[in-house]
Chain A
Amino acid sequence: MDERTAGGGLPEEPPVTSVESVFREEHGRLLAALVRRFGDLDLAEEVTSEAIEAALERWPADGVPPRPGAWLMTTARRKAVDRLRRDQTFATRLAVLQVEAERAEPAPAAEVAGELPDERLQLFFTCAHPALPAEDRGALMLRCLAGLATPEVARAFLVPPATMAKRIVRAKKKIHQARIPFRVPDAGELPQRLPGVLQAVYSIFTEGYTASSGPDLQRIDLAEEAIRLARILRGLLPRQREVTGLLGLMLLIHARRHARTGPDGELVLLEEQDRGRWDRTMIEEGLRLMPVALTGGPPGPYGVQAAIAALHDEAADLASTDWPQVVALYDVLLALDPSPVVALNRAAAVAMRDGPEAGLALLEELSGEPRLRGYSPYPTARADLLSRLGRNAEAAAAYREAIELAGTEPERAHLRRRLAALDQPGS
């Protein structure tokens, strides 16, 4: 088994066997091509798993075929046709499909040459269709594009497997019965539809970055799955700058993963992190993406957030971070996405540039925001600034509020330590 089934947060990944890496690489592609051909997500999923099972039986004995993707595709397609033949209710549809298949049959020539048509982009847009509940979009992507089994998807979003199974069935039923099309939106619709796809990928990442509940702060496996999906997406939409921006953002944040937790899994804040433990290779890759994400037109929210992450990653320590530039970028971000969460982050950056008093004034302005009610970073930010101003009693109250609201034990432990430190003289 690969790292997905190991406990979340393990820094070392066991090396994947070649067979497994083929499956991971081919699963989404295979599924997408089969949905395209047969117009049925359930059928496509079943024959994809069957083809992989067949490969698991055959390949260890016969060796991995020279074009494993084409082998899997041929096997899956045969299984799909067999299944449709057996199934009376599909008989008429099969007749239609066969006519269409004959008309479009030049396609296998490309498959013989080892190049499978890449239809994963259609699958991305299907999984992230706005007609589906937002909470199901990331789950469907993990299921269909990353090839995770339903119990693994359930584990990823920390819901019981039965609940996740129901959600996936419900989403697939809607795709099938309401006939959500398997297609890439045209150029006119793309600006409207792409953000939903990016949001779904980013929601997988953020669940990995800070789990909303559960024992571990980070779910490194999940964050890496999101990065893998973003890489695929970038390969399919190389000219969409926000795709590049999102990939850059995730790499620049993920580069800090090993420094974000202490020996006991506790949260370590940016200012306390050992920057020597940051992943330089990943930072450099993220930085290389920046010019692509930020030039050639007005920047999008992911590109701007990536630029902010880049400023943090490039700084030797907290004090030498280019705070005026960080604040300027938050101004741009706030214009693109005028949300109270962005305003909260901007206030924290202003506090670093102009001092805690200035930051606190901005936080007070946000006190009535309903979206920040119940959001632990808000009282945490207030508490930190209050303690820097020596207003310890108020800081303590804010830390207690944040502890109530925090989602994971490492976050709570961190906040308790900050609260305890308040009582010590000179803190």
Chain B
Amino acid sequence: MKYMLLINAGSVDESGGAADCDVQDWLAYDKEVKDAGIQVSGEQLADLVTATAVRVDENGKRTVTDGPFAETREVLGGFYVIDVPDLDAALDWAARCPGARGTGSVVVRPVAEFEG
């Protein structure tokens, strides 16, 4: 069963990077996930200041804007997709993620499966 771990930073510093995160912790966690053989995919997103939004209206006109920037406090900083037996296992991995600490959170979403 595949689960996506959405890593949300609780606060962002001036350059748009996640605050209070230790690089060493991330490297260690990333290694653990890979060594456990459960990683399907995963990426760290570049700083929030680099984000660009595209919207297309009903006439097909495209609008490109800078952002979106955080009026919301939670900022998606990266994700993992892991393959583990059940929700409890996914929650265990989410709890070990450095992004779950402090003001951050990790949201666990099952990836939809279609039977048949």
Contact = CB atoms under 8 A, between A and B. Distances in A.
B7 to A, nearest CB: 18
A179 B116 contact: no
A178 B112 CA distance: 9
Nearest to A91: B116
Interface string B74-116: 0000000000011110010000000000000000101011011
A93 B85 CA distance: 16
B86 A179 contact: yes
B87 A180 contact: yes
A407 interface: no
B1 interface: yes
B48 to A, nearest CB: 29
Given A131-B87, A131-B91, A179 B110 contact: yes
A181 interface: yes
B87 A178 contact: yes
A88 interface: yes
Contact of A179 (B87, B112, B115): B87
A320 interface: no
B115 A181 contact: no
B71 to A, nearest CB: 25
Contacts, number: 27
Interface of B is mostly: loop
Interface in A79-128: 88-90, 93
Contacts of A129: 87
A177 interface: yes
A179 B113 CA distance: 11
Interface string A162-181: 00000000000000011111
Contacts of B110: 177-179
A181 B116 contact: no
Nearest to A93: B115
Contact of A181 (B86, B108, B112, B113): B86
Contacts of A89: 115-116
Contacts of B1: 179
A183 B88 contact: yes
A90 B86 CA distance: 19
A93 B115 CA distance: 10
Contacts of B87: 129, 131, 178-181
Contacts of B88: 180-181, 183
A183 B88 CA distance: 10
Contacts of B112: 177
A164 B1 CA distance: 29
Interface string B8-50: 0000000000000000000000000000000000000000000
A93 B113 CA distance: 14
**By CB atoms of chain A within 10 A, which of B88, B108, B112, B115 has the most?**
B88
Interface of A: 88-90, 93, 129, 131, 177-181, 183
Nearest 9 interchain pairs by C-beta: A181-B86, A89-B116, A179-B86, A178-B110, A178-B87, A180-B87, A179-B1, A89-B115, A181-B88
27 contacts: A88-B116, A89-B115, A89-B116, A90-B115, A93-B115, A129-B87, A131-B87, A131-B91, A177-B110, A177-B112, A177-B113, A178-B87, A178-B108, A178-B110, A179-B1, A179-B85, A179-B86, A179-B87, A179-B110, A180-B86, A180-B87, A180-B88, A181-B85, A181-B86, A181-B87, A181-B88, A183-B88
Given A179-B87, A180-B88, 12 more contacts: A88-B116, A90-B115, A93-B115, A129-B87, A177-B110, A177-B113, A178-B108, A179-B85, A179-B86, A180-B86, A181-B85, A183-B88
Interface of B: 1, 85-88, 91, 108, 110, 112-113, 115-116
